[in-house]
Amino acid sequence: MWVTHALLEWSSFGVAAFAALLAFIHCAMKRDMVSPVIGVTLLFAGCSDAFQAFAVDHLAEWITDIQTYIPFTWAVSRFLSALILIAGVGFLLSTRDQNYHKALSAVVITSLVLAFLAYGTIYITTITHAVPQTLFPESFLTRPWDFGPLALYVIAGAFLFPRFHREERNYISHSLMIGVIPHAAAQLYMGFGSQILFDPYFQAAHFIKILAYLLPLSGLVIEILKTYQHERMIVESFGTIQKELRKLDGHNKLVLDSVGDGVVGFDAEGTTTSINPSAQLILGYTEEEFIGKPAHELIFPPNLEGEKLINASIKDGKVYKETDGVFRRKSGTTFRVEYVTTPILEDGQTLGAIITFMESTERRLIEGYFYKALQEISKAREEADNLREAAESANKSKSIFLSVMSHEIRTPLSVILGYAQILQRDHSLDMKHRDAVRKIETSGNHLLELINDLLDISKIETGEVELTLSDFDLHSLLLGLGDMSRNQCEAKNLRFHLKGVGQSPIYVYGDERKVRQILVNLLGNAVKFTDQGEVTLTLENQPDNKFRFTVSDTGNGIRSEDQVNIFELFKQGEEGFNKGGTGLGLAISWELSELMEGELSLESEVGQGSSFSLTLELAPASPVPSRSQRSRQVKELSRKFDLRVLVVDDAKENREMLTEILQDIGAEVFAAGSGKKALEQLKEFMPDIIFMDMRMPVMSGEETTQKIIGHYGSGRFKIVGVTAATSANDQNKMITAGCKRVISKPYRVEQIFKCIQELLGVEYEYQEVPDNQQEDQEDAEKPPSKSKELPDMCIPAKLFLEFKEGIDQNDIPELEKLLETLRTLGDEGKLVESHLWPLLKKGNFAGMLDFLENIPVVGVLHD
């Protein structure tokens, strides 16, 4: 339980730190002060929470009354966490009208104050050996000190955070306001329920606290997506303006060529640069004869200083007009003219001048139009410069964003998902806690899918997306999607139908992940935009190994004007904006279908629902392992194999996570925090395989790998590169450096085990996935067959009748109490409960009754 507590506390801190990182990235993109203040606030709030884990792990040795000390540090850390959140939001409200630089200084000062406050509180708590009693197991309020932070959260949620949301009106402020609910719930769990250390209420409060930090993290992710979308629109607008500017330049040239006045251009040295057809006709020069010559040699008579107005215009940037000037033709004759010299300015610098002239006897009114045209050119150039700067800034922000998403975000996310997998392998957890861990993993995977969507868009734009072809069972894939969609539909009281799938496997050759990605997007949209009726997934076999997947719904349908651009990036119909989402799913689906040479189409009518169809060619393939075969879980190494592993990673949490995964199956593991330490450890510890993080300071994983191979040879160790980079180019560099395999973060434990088996030929002992994982995922919808034997199961008659009554009345709370009673009846009761719990969670009352009627009843039944 100490380990679980530490994992929960450090997970809270990891989420808070990750949110702070995203906040500063958002500040760099948008240059507003809300994000960094919220980030600093969450970071120090997380630090205060992490203090309790530190106290338990490192101070327990010399604390004599640990039963008093841990509740006290929990109460202090939660009070400090609430106070820091309130202080951060209060600061934002008080500095709302300050400019960026003043606000930035205030952020630094606030950060120092919060850091001092957190450090001071932690320091005082650390040096205090005798702490007050905060846990009263026999009292109605078991932890009265927890109502102090509860009061702060209630006040903030009722007054401060709503005011902040009214002024900001963004997802960050909204998530902070909603986040008060899990914070308050955690305090209530502890204040009323927790009676001893590490009891279910104690652990549940820690799980809820992680959710409280995940909410502002989600708000930050959505705000980053919105900022990225806005800056992308700026880039698109810049391209449009450039196109319009080219059209305007062409228009102006047409005007200059058609105007009857002479127009001549000069650079800053007085050298001619241009001449229009009218000036050529008047002066008698061709364009080749005129351009590149000094003005005084071509236009002005030798005995007159006619070029002085040109020089003056270039020098001081002003417009000069001469109403009685003298010009010279190529033939040497002179004539009277009126002319105007206009400077050419750009960014405050004079680049040259333009002379517009006409013979005095041929004055025309078009002069005013020409001046206006010049002004339009200058204005258009200024607008183009502004848009170019905005576009360059947007592209830079986009590059920074995608770089961070591809590495910095995936790295901490891999720790969260990794520890969630470790906890799922711990069979000592009860069903409630295992379900909570699964929810953490599901939320993490959802965030990973958002990140992957953005990376997919980037790869699609640069042409880096490649197909990963393999044999797979289409029948199994569609059944899994059907289970997922059925659960989503039941949550909204919708009906779900899966048609055309049949009962036999369908082995095909293609990219299973991309087929699944498209269908998940289509099914997810169908459920989201349907409020009543049904959603249907239909499979049709067509000639030439083609399959047609159709997802139809009975929603509101899509307007014809929205159907035109529904498959474009960030495009959504009117209902899409109301329902939420990033506007990426259908665009990615379209691009992936094109990549697989398929066809994605839409049929929809307002009020009649929508139907999306995907047609793909999938060649026949060899049989692949069945779903039941893949439900096995590695338990440990086979006893005839020894495994020695070196884990190299500069991030402590990554090292500890991978070390725990490998030690769990019986491997001997050493860890190194840098390339230099890895080289030193190899002198004493000779591993069979090395897991090498590629991105480390001072000495990178690539350099460390090259040094190991240079010293020991390429065959001595099997080196596996571990990286958050996703591009094929980055991974090819690792292979070139000498890695035998490359694994991308975040990874699943099965990938690690499979990699070791392929490289070293080891064997494993396996165990079946526990019922509450396997049956809940695969068979929760299916009641047991009447012909199926259920050995070692029975139920007391009294309990049977109570279950039947609860099922008849759909009384879920009562049924949950009866399941708790079953757990107290020994192994047989636990076995019955393990079958009934997944059915109750799905709301499958008919399946529960069918199951109960097929097992023996002990005692006499009385209706």
Number of domains comprising the chain: 5
* CB contact at 8 A, 262 and 276: yes
DSSP 346: E
C-alpha separations of 329 from 282, 284, 775 in Å: 7, 6, 98
Lowest mean pLDDT, pick from 106-110, 517-521, 632-636: 106-110
Q: Which two tokens stand for residue 450?
A: 């958002």
Q: Which two tokens stand for residue 7?
A: 């994992």
Indicate if the pLDDT at residue 130 is higher than 70.
Answer: no
- pTM of the model as a whole: 0.40
pLDDT value for 777: 39
Question: Which pLDDT band, with edges at 50, 70 and 90, does 73 fall under?
Answer: confident
N-term to C-term CA, the chain: 45
* Mean predicted confidence (pLDDT) in 646-663: 91
Query: Residue 663 domain-assigned?
Result: yes
Question: Which pLDDT band, with edges at 50, 70 and 90, does 675 fall under?
Answer: very high
Q: Are residues 633 and 616 in the same domain?
A: no
Q: Which residues contact 18 (CB under 8 A, 6 or more apart)?
A: 217, 409, 412, 413
Q: Are residues 95 and 206 in the same domain?
A: yes
* Dihedral (Cα; 767, 773, 779, 782), 10-degree rounding: 120
Query: Residue 85 domain-assigned?
Result: yes
**pLDDT tens for residues 92-111?**
777 766 555 555 566 566 66
Q: Are residues 300 and 206 in the same domain?
A: no
Question: Which pLDDT band, with edges at 50, 70 and 90, does 834 fall under?
Answer: confident
Q: Which residues contact 425 (CB under 8 A, 6 or more apart)?
A: 633, 664, 749
* CB contact at 8 A, 844 and 781: yes
* Mean predicted confidence (pLDDT) in 815-825: 82
pLDDT value for 779: 39
Q: Which two tokens stand for residue 392?
A: 């360059």
Separation of alpha carbons 232 and 397, rounded Å: 10
pLDDT value for 720: 94
pLDDT value for 775: 41
Half-sphere exposure of residue 66: CA atoms within 13 angstroms, side-chain side: 14
Element (H, E) at 265: strand 262-267
Containing structural domain, residue 185: 2-224
Q: Are residues 582 and 651 in the same domain?
A: no
- Final residue belonging to a domain, choices 334, 363, 392: 363
pLDDT value for 538: 95
Indicate if the pLDDT at residue 782 is higher than 60.
Answer: no
Q: Are residues 17 and 141 in the same domain?
A: yes
pLDDT value for 700: 92
Q: What is the mean pLDDT of the chain?
A: 77
> What is the identity of the amino acid at 699?
M
pLDDT value for 246: 74
Q: Are residues 673 and 598 in the same domain?
A: no
State the CATH number of the domain containing residue 636.
3.40.50.2300
pLDDT value for 600: 93
Q: Are residues 548 and 608 in the same domain?
A: yes
Q: Are residues 556 and 633 in the same domain?
A: no
Q: Phi and psi dihedrals of 268, rounded to 5?
A: -65, -20
Lowest mean pLDDT, pick from 285-299, 590-604, 767-781, 824-838: 767-781
Indicate if the pLDDT at residue 548 is higher than 70.
Answer: yes
* Mean predicted confidence (pLDDT) in 420-442: 70
pLDDT value for 181: 87
Q: Are residues 681 and 824 in the same domain?
A: no
Q: Are residues 758 and 848 in the same domain?
A: no
Q: Are residues 32 and 105 in the same domain?
A: yes
* Mean predicted confidence (pLDDT) in 809-821: 79
Query: Residue 716 domain-assigned?
Result: yes
pLDDT value for 340: 87
Q: Are residues 56 and 180 in the same domain?
A: yes
Query: Residue 100 domain-assigned?
Result: yes
pLDDT value for 706: 93
Nearest in space to 416 (alpha carbons), one of 443, 394, 395: 443
- Final residue belonging to a domain, choices 768, 802, 834: 768
Other Cβ atoms less than 10 A from the Cβ of 383: the count is: 14
Indicate if the pLDDT at residue 327 is higher than 60.
Answer: yes
Lowest mean pLDDT, pick from 227-241, 615-629, 756-770: 615-629
